[in-house]
Homo-oligomer: A and B are copies of this chain.
Amino acid sequence: MSDNVVPTLPTAEPIRLIDENGHAVTGEQTAGFAMPDDETLLDLYRAMVTARRFDTQVTALTRQGRLATYPSALGQEACEIAAVKSLGADDWLFPTYRDTIALLTRGVSPVEILSFFRGDWHMAYDPHEHRIAPQSTPLATQALHAVGLATAATLKGDAVVSLAFLGDGSTSEGDAHEAFNFASVWQAPTIFVISNNQYAISVPFAKQSHARTLADRAIGYGMPGFFVDGNDVAAMYAVVSAAVDRARAGGGPSMIEGLTYRMEAHTNSDDPTRYREKTEVADWQGRDPIARLESYLDAAGVLTPELRESISVEAEDLASRTRDAMNETPVIDPLELFDHVYSTPRAALLEQREYLAHELAQTETAPGGHA
């Protein structure tokens, strides 16, 4: 139990540095956080534009049947990019299925990212190379892995921070609570970034929590909690990077809720018309995180037409590289199914591998056999 310092509640209004019209915010609502410098903002802008182009491209490819499924993060770019950009090279990211653009921003190649959604294998990139855990599907489970990894790093004397993405719905899971509690008791250098896009598939936030904000949970763990405008990348970046610095300096974990909105369906197989109004979506279109930063940078004279042009060219280039990559059909050896289950070979699995090898050999020769 921490000494009786009265904990402070998160602000009722989300922390904001740039308002919906692209104007700098002053006073209370900044909660004392300073505007990131222009270079940083430009970097965030570039990443968001690229990420969105990638996201829309992948959604298109999914509609064309090139991918098994794709959960889009359209509209959530500020949370995603701000979080990733706040991390150092040695820090670890623990993403969910929703956070694909975060992987892109951290440098994973389109093919290595999309291989999972195409259904080649459960994942393709090397977690150690990128310091990115597998995209987690079982909700909230990855938050505990993040706490464990950060604790291990601390025990080994490495100043490594871990950051776990969580959705609003996933915070209802027991594992989310256990992760918050372990992190605070162990003072693990772990940042919990909750992208509150206000829906868990079809379930609105009101049916998920009765709290004023999810950030209000932090007090119950003696942890700093921040309620942030999740469509204001400047605010998200300021709050998350401050939390990362605090964690690295031994200040323990933080909980950061970014209030945002899922513009697309949950996945391509979802039908949002069953549970939300088009008008609601339209409202949020007006709060677009990229447009907002764009007009701010415009006004600041930082984002020249040339620059904007070159950025969108970069983005287009990525999109076409992604298309090309997805047009190649991957070669997957079915026999690999048996190769990674255990580190040491097992007789039973070798037998089963043999069985499949034999079957494949036959079907290749047989008429109408696959491959």
Which residue numbers of A lie inside 8 Å of B, CB to CB?
Answer: 1-2, 4-7, 9, 12, 172-178, 181, 184-185, 187, 205-214, 216-223, 252
Contact = CB atoms under 8 A, between A and B. Distances in A.
A63 to B, nearest CB: 33
B178 A211 contact: no
A362 to B, nearest CB: 42
B210 A184 contact: yes
A209 B174 contact: no
Given A7-B9, A220-B217, A210 B172 contact: no
Nearest to A255: B220
Contacts of A7: 9, 212, 216
Contacts of A212: 1-2, 4-7, 222
Contacts of A184: 209-211
Contact of A210 (B177, B185, B214): B185
Contacts of A4: 12, 212
A222 B206 CA distance: 12
A339 B12 CA distance: 57
A261 to B, nearest CB: 14
B1 A206 contact: yes
Nearest to A187: B210
Contacts of A222: 209-212, 216
A240 B209 CA distance: 24
Nearest to A7: B212
A222 B222 CA distance: 17
